[in-house]
Amino acid sequence: MNVESYQEFLQNKLQLGGDHGFEPIWMPDFLFDFQKHLLSWAQLKGKAAIFADCGLGKTPLQLVWAQNIIQKENKPVLVITPLAVSAQTIREGEKFNIECVRSKEGAVAGNKIIVTNYERLHYFNPADFVAVVCDESSAIKAFDGKRRKLVTRFLSKMKYRLLCSATPSPNDHIELGASSECLGELNQSEMLSTFFKSSDNARHSLFKEGDFWNNQKWFFKAHAELPFWRWVCSWARAIRKPSDLGDYDDTPFQLPELNIEQHIVEHDKLLPGELFPVIAKTLREQRVERRISIQERCEYVANLIKHDKPAVVWCQYNDEGDYLEKIIPDCVQVAGCTEDDLKEERLNAFTLGQVRVMVIKPKIGAWGLNWQHCGHHTFFPSHSFEQFYQSVRRSWRFGRVGAVNVDVIATKGEEGVTENLKAKQVKVEKMFISLVAEMNNVLRIESENKHINEMELPSWD
């Protein structure tokens, strides 16, 4: 085996994909310098993921990326978004003078950007497109098996692919596996078998305190952490602020003040079989605690939002949403049973300031929507920190003027839930810092090791 073939063999073993794209044809002036950096990288990769925090301009990035491909290939590009984000994307296109049209039933008119939502993807033919953008791609992992398979198969037929989302969810490397699979890299099982081992086979000495993989019971193999991040860097970039990419100015991207206040609601109802109030310990007890306290908690929320400013009321159960809708006079509710067209109509109405109060569940409205105009959220907590984080980030984002106030409403018996959220918040911050730092460390190492002394191997003749 000669030197060249051996080096090629080693590169293939690294699982690092190559470039499948091209240099940008169009680089508009409205992009910030760090956005141009990201666009150049993603355009050259051709199949890439951008994990950028809320408000860093993922929508203009994906529209410019798509427009470059249209100019290069002279074929349409499909942009897939969560429900109601499609209309928001169209408005962004108009703002930046990028032509994009909405399609709900699979119609494709000319070589332009076509925007639809995930729920409508089955109407579209992959043969009509040369590229696809998945906005808020972190939602893919939450889809049921049928829809997730549909998205993955659709992407597998695309020459160019771009995933855009906020920084991947905390404690969830499975999401990275889902993104990798959509881009044609390793699938989830291949990723896990290559870089991780199950806790069932892990030695006790390898269990690290505060390891952000622990919730999923997967741990890095020995010496696999750096290769893992190097592999992720081969197809993804993650940033929380412009300076994460290098010497870029963070001044225009300062988050507003965030005030989180916890409220404990008193009630005199007891858990079944109890003689006095106790903290609900099991999931079943926590569900019972929430249900028996619906009236008290909802009425408490209704009093909190007795003002004339926009507010979002996040609930967990249908009964909560229905009761809130009944006792808050100037609100609309978007529930799971609401028809898609009506959901979108109501979400857009709130986004445009035509409705003052929105009652909604996190799993319906916590991804992709820009509610910078709203500075007040109330939240009934669950154990999902990702839902809490994404819900708050609808308003707490770059570009918001004024503080964002979040009221977390729970009962005395739900203290275990709120304490769990606080613990996860600490882990989340560590995970975000680790993710960005590891990526930058890998990129720095790669840039510092470009000069390698070549040596001639003796022949075996």
Residue with tokens 């993603």: 42
What is d(CA 402, CA 113) in angstroms, rounded to the nearest whole number? 34
For residue 359, list its beta bridge partners: 313, 333
CA distances for 192 relative to 123, 187, 260, angstroms = 33, 9, 36
Q: At what angle do helices 58-73 and 85-95 cross, to 10 degrees?
A: 70
Q: What is the pLDDT of residues 114-137, one digit of tens each?
A: 999 998 999 999 999 999 999 988
Q: Taking the CB of residue 247, how many other CB atoms lie within 10 A of it?
A: 8
Q: What is the pLDDT of residues 351-376, one digit of tens each?
A: 999 999 999 999 888 888 899 999 99
Q: At what angle do helices 385-392 and 415-448 cross, to 10 degrees?
A: 80
CB-based contact 401:252 (threshold 8 Å): no
What is d(CA 180, CA 149) in angstroms, rounded to the nearest whole number? 14
For residue 81, list its beta bridge partners: 117
Q: Helix (H, G, I), strand (E, B), or coil: what is residue 80? A: strand
CB-based contact 181:68 (threshold 8 Å): no
What is d(CA 356, CA 234) in angstroms, rounded to the nearest whole number? 44
Q: Burial of 271 by CB count in 10 Å (0-12 exposed, 13-18 middle, 19+ buried)?
A: middle
List the CATH code of the domain at 11-251: 3.40.50.10810
What is d(CA 311, CA 120) in angstroms, rounded to the nearest whole number? 29
**pLDDT at residue 455 above 70?**
no
Q: What is the mean pLDDT of residues 34-50?
A: 95
Q: What is the pLDDT of residues 424-443, one digit of tens each?
A: 777 767 766 766 777 777 67
For the chain, give the number of residues: 461
Whole-number pLDDT of residue 69 = 97
Q: Could you tell me the residue ranges of all domains in the chain? A: 11-251, 258-415
List the CATH code of the domain at 258-415: 3.40.50.300
Q: What is the mean pLDDT of residues 98-111?
A: 90
DSSP 3-state helix, strand, coil percentages of the chain (rounded to 5)? Answer: 45, 15, 40
CA distances for 181 relative to 188, 191, 287, angstroms = 7, 9, 35
**String of DSSP letters for 231-283:** HHHTTEEEESSGGGGSS---TT--PPPEEEEEEEEP-----TT-SS-----SH
What is d(CA 358, CA 344) in angstroms, rounded to the nearest whole number? 13
CB-based contact 243:32 (threshold 8 Å): no
Q: Which amino acid does the sequence have at 394?
A: R
Q: What is the pLDDT of residues 231-286, one digit of tens each?
A: 888 899 888 889 888 889 999 898 999 999 989 888 766 656 564 555 655 666 67
Q: What is the mean pLDDT of residues 184-202?
A: 79
Q: With b meaning 16 or more CB within 10 Å and e meaning fewer, what string describes 380-389?
A: bbbebbbbbb
